[in-house]
Structure 1
Amino acid sequence: MIQIAVFSDVHGNLPALDVVLKDIEQRGIHQKFCLGDLVDFAPWGNEVIERIQNLNVPCLMGNHDERIAFDLPVFPLSKHSQEETNARFIAIDHSKQHITEENKKFLSGLPFHLKLNYKMGSKHWNIQLVHSSLESNDTYLYESEGDEVFMNMLEDSKADLIVMGHTHLSFTKQFENKKWAVNCGSVGRSKEENRLASYLILTLDDEKIVPEIVQLSYPLEETVRQIEESGVPNYYAAFLRNEKVSIL
């Protein structure tokens, strides 16, 4: 049996990341992977990047990482309210100003995809890691998406299981051919009602893969307080408290 942990979308939330990393360690899971979006929306972007570096966690380039690394322009999204649009512009600008040049260089060198192959007895398991999809790191694929979308991704990647993040909403879907599409949720900015830090454990043996979504509480009020004392808009503090803000 092999266990691996996969997490995504930390978004500068160091307290949430540390709780997830501690849980992974306590479970004795030595292999862990990050699907990206280390920055924006909480004040610890540099610290999160450095934690990932120091632990040598293989990490993909999320859309937010790419924007900060290459100073890409920010465009409003039609699904956002005016309040969220304004807050988003300020929060991303905060990252552009405060993420160090060394850390931006680290982000710029992150891979787009990662394919894993594990041999268990005579069985090879192929696991495809993406931030959001094979073609883009900014595609929103929800659990409600038609099965054929995920089946095509599995076929294109020749994988038994594909893991994604980006939407901040976790799910596991198994298909008739026993293959899986999984979203590991978000560590630092969950859009689920409970706002817990979410990550994925994959357990592999020579017969099957079992995905498990783990959700953990973390020092939310302290996190919120530090967001409110930083240059990150209070919108993101209210969001973590699940107060009246748009979650899309």
Structure 2
Amino acid sequence: MIQIAVFSDVHGNLPALEVVLDDIEQRGIRQKYCLGDLVDFAPWGNEVIEKIRNLNIPCLMGNHDERIAFDVPVIPLNKHSEEETAARILAIDHSKKYITKENKTFLSELPFHLKLNYKVGKKHWNIQLVHSSLESNDTYLYESENDEVFQNMLCESQSDVIMMGHTHRSFKKYFNGKWAINSGSVGRSREENRLASYVILTLDEEKITPEIIQLDYPLEKVVQEIEKSEIPNYYASFLRNEKLSVF
């Protein structure tokens, strides 16, 4: 048996990341992967990047990582309210200002995809890691998406499991021995509970068993630090799950 922990979308939330990493450590899981989006929306972008670097955790380039690394302009999204669009621009500009040159270089060199192959007994398991899809790191695929979309991704990647993040909403879908799984978000969950989310994959010779783990973290501490920072208070209210015009 092999266990793998996969997490995504930390978004500068160091306290949430530390809770997730501590939980992984306590479970004795040594294989860890991050699906990207280390920065934006909470004050610890540099600290999160340095934690991932220092622990040598393989990490993908999320759309926010790419934006900060290469100074990509913010394009308003139809799904965002005017309030969220304005806050998003200010928060991303904050990251562009404060993320160090060294950390931007690190983000710029992250891989777009990772394909893993683990051998358990006589069985080889292929696991495809993406931030959001095979073609893009900015495609929104929710649990409600037509099953054919995920089945095509599994077929195209020739994988037994495809792991994704980006939407900040966790799910797992099973297709005749294969899985499409979203790990949710560590630092900026869009789920009602706002908990830090990650996935454990347990690989046996006969099957893969995924488990979505959701954890409390010192959310109020994060909220207070956002309010003290130059990051818009919109993101503090979001974490508190106060009524906002959000998708």
Structure 2 distance, partners of 1:247, 1:145, is: 20
Amino acid in structure 2 at the alignment position of 1:33? Y
Structure 1 distance, partners of 2:131, 2:44, is: 21
Structure 2 distance, partners of 1:85, 1:27, is: 39
CA contact (8 A) 2:39 2:95 kept: yes
Shift of 1:78: 0.8
Deviations 1:149-203 (A, max 9, x none): 000000000000000000000000001x211000000000000000000000000
Shift of 1:64: 0.2
Q: Which residue does the alignment assign to 1:233?
A: 232
Residue aligned with 2:230, SS: coil
When normalised by structure 1's length, the TM-score is 0.99
Amino acid in structure 2 at the alignment position of 1:202? L
Q: Which residue does the alignment assign to 2:74?
A: 74
Q: Which residue does the alignment assign to 1:61?
A: 61
Q: Does 1:48 align with 2:80?
A: no
Q: Which residue does the alignment assign to 1:144?
A: 144
Structure 1 distance, partners of 2:121, 2:200, is: 21
Q: Which residue does the alignment assign to 1:184?
A: 183
Listed as ranges, the matches of 1:1-248 within 5 Å are 1-175=1-175, 177-248=176-247
Q: What RMSD over aligned residues (CA atoms) do the two structures have, in Å?
A: 0.5
Residue aligned with 2:36, SS: coil
Structure 2 distance, partners of 1:160, 1:78, is: 34
When normalised by structure 2's length, the TM-score is 0.99
Runs (5+) with no aligned partner, structure 1: none
Structure 2 distance, partners of 1:25, 1:151, is: 33
Sequence identity, in percent? Answer: 79
Amino acid in structure 2 at the alignment position of 1:120? V
Structure 1 distance, partners of 2:120, 2:78, is: 46
CA contact (8 A) 1:191 1:247 kept: no
Deviations 1:64-86 (A, max 9, x none): 00000000011111111111010
Residue aligned with 2:173, SS: strand
Amino acid in structure 2 at the alignment position of 1:78? N
Amino acid in structure 1 at the alignment position of 2:88? R
Deviations 1:103-148 (A, max 9, x none): 0000000000000001111110000000000000000000000111
Structure 2 distance, partners of 1:159, 1:129, is: 10
Count of residues in correspondence between the two structures = 247
CA contact (8 A) 1:60 1:111 kept: yes
Shift of 1:246: 3.2
Shift of 1:40: 0.3
Residue aligned with 1:6, SS: strand
CA contact (8 A) 2:13 2:44 kept: yes
Deviations 1:219-242 (A, max 9, x none): 011110000000100000000000
Amino acid in structure 1 at the alignment position of 2:246? I
After the TM superposition, which segments of 4 or more aligned residues of structure 1 sit over 3 Å from their partners? Answer: none
